[in-house]
Amino acid sequence: MEYFLQLFFAGLTKGSIYALIALGYTMVYGIIQLINFAHGEIYMIGAFTALIAAGVLSVFNLPVVAIFIIVTLVAILYSSAYGYTIEKIAYKPLRNAPRLSALISAIGMSIFLQNYVLLAQTSDFLPFPSLIGQFKFMEPYNHILSSSGLVIIISTFIAMLLLSLYIKFTRMGKAMRATAQDKKMALLLGINVDRVISTTFVVGSALAALGGVLIANHIGQINFYIGFIAGIKAFTAAVLGGIGSVPGAVLGALILGWTESFSTGYISSDYQDVFAFILLVVILIFKPSGILGKKTDQKV
């Protein structure tokens, strides 16, 4: 039972990070039907910003918790600015171009950002300071979950809660939902669609940056390439849950995290990714739109 719980929480930790990134994919797709392949790089930039900010802050004699909070906020702000700018540079000029053009632009952006960070920083792995102290849980729960894992799960939960409240109750949230439903109609009703799109990118980037800071703190090292693999996994999670659906992205991410964790624990880690993708294929065979995705008629 303890082993099961350990694996359950390991999967939940991983799934939470996937969820934070997957939300950006799914929201952007929901609004402008674009797979933003540069999104994984936002996560990576979030982690790097946090590292640099932590380095600057270490000069002042602040308590570690304060450093963690400031660093996270800085990373979120900075990465959101990146998300906003990427949309303006790479996607907005192509909004009326064929969808493939925007996709290529996204891939180009992703490669550009990777190389930019590679040149500006290094290709080495860089140590990330442990900003969350190692607090102890009560026995026998002590070994089930690490403190940084717990922080990941709680932070993700709070972020999800805030996001759903934001989408449900604010004017902007309403405008987002309207734009996602029918962009042209929303425009006719006087919704500033450009602003909605920008906001979507900003919110998605903020979540990804949060994920970047949390994971860097959890595993203690980052390099310029971490965004690629995490991005692919999160994208898989978004498709699994039904791309375009916010609850779907979270569900897909958690299922993916648990699949990886339990297949490692009970079968073999050699085939962890194989099981994850078998699951994806099986679900897509029976429900091509993803678990919570809505069936829509696509014009081809």
Tell me the window of 102-110, 113-121, 176-184, 212-220 that interacts with another protein (CB under 8 A): 212-220
Q: Is 83 in the site for another protein (CB under 8 A)?
A: no
Q: Is 291 in the site for another protein (CB under 8 A)?
A: no
Q: What tokens appear for 211 in the block? A: 């994920």
Instruction: State in angstroms the smallest separation of the CB of 145 from another protein.
Output: 9
Q: Is 125 in the site for another protein (CB under 8 A)?
A: yes
Write the DSSP assignment of 86-133 as a string of letters. HIIIIIGGGTTS-HHHHHHHHHHHHHHHHHHHHHHS-SS-EE----S-
236-265 mask for another protein (x: CB under 8 A)? ------------------------xxx-xx
Residue 64 phi, psi (nearest 5):
-60, -40
Helix (H, G, I), strand (E, B) or coil at 35: coil
Q: Is 296 in the site for another protein (CB under 8 A)?
A: no
With CB under 8 A as the contact rule, the residue among 27, 75, 210, 226 that binds another protein is 226
With CB under 8 A as the contact rule, the residue among 219, 278, 282, 294 that binds another protein is 219
CA distances for 165 relative to 105, 119, 172, 264, angstroms: 32, 40, 11, 35
Among candidate residues 50, 52, 45, the one with its CA nearest the CA of residue 24: 45
* Residues near 123 by beta carbon (within 8 Å), at least 6 away in sequence: 223, 224
Helix (H, G, I), strand (E, B) or coil at 279: helix
Q: What tokens appear for 104 in the block? A: 């290529």
Instruction: State in angstroms the smallest separation of the CB of 173 from another protein.
Output: 29
134-163 mask for another protein (x: CB under 8 A)? x-------xx--xxxx--------------
Q: Is 34 in the site for another protein (CB under 8 A)?
A: no
With CB under 8 A as the contact rule, the residue among 33, 155, 198, 272 that binds another protein is 272
Residue 221 phi, psi (nearest 5):
-155, 150
Q: What tokens appear for 74 in the block? A: 């800085």
Instruction: State in angstroms the smallest separation of the CB of 84 from another protein.
Output: 26
Contacts to another protein by CB under 8 A: 3, 6-7, 9-11, 13-14, 17-18, 124-127, 134, 142-143, 146-149, 215, 218-221, 223, 225-226, 229-230, 233, 260-262, 264-265, 268-270, 272-273
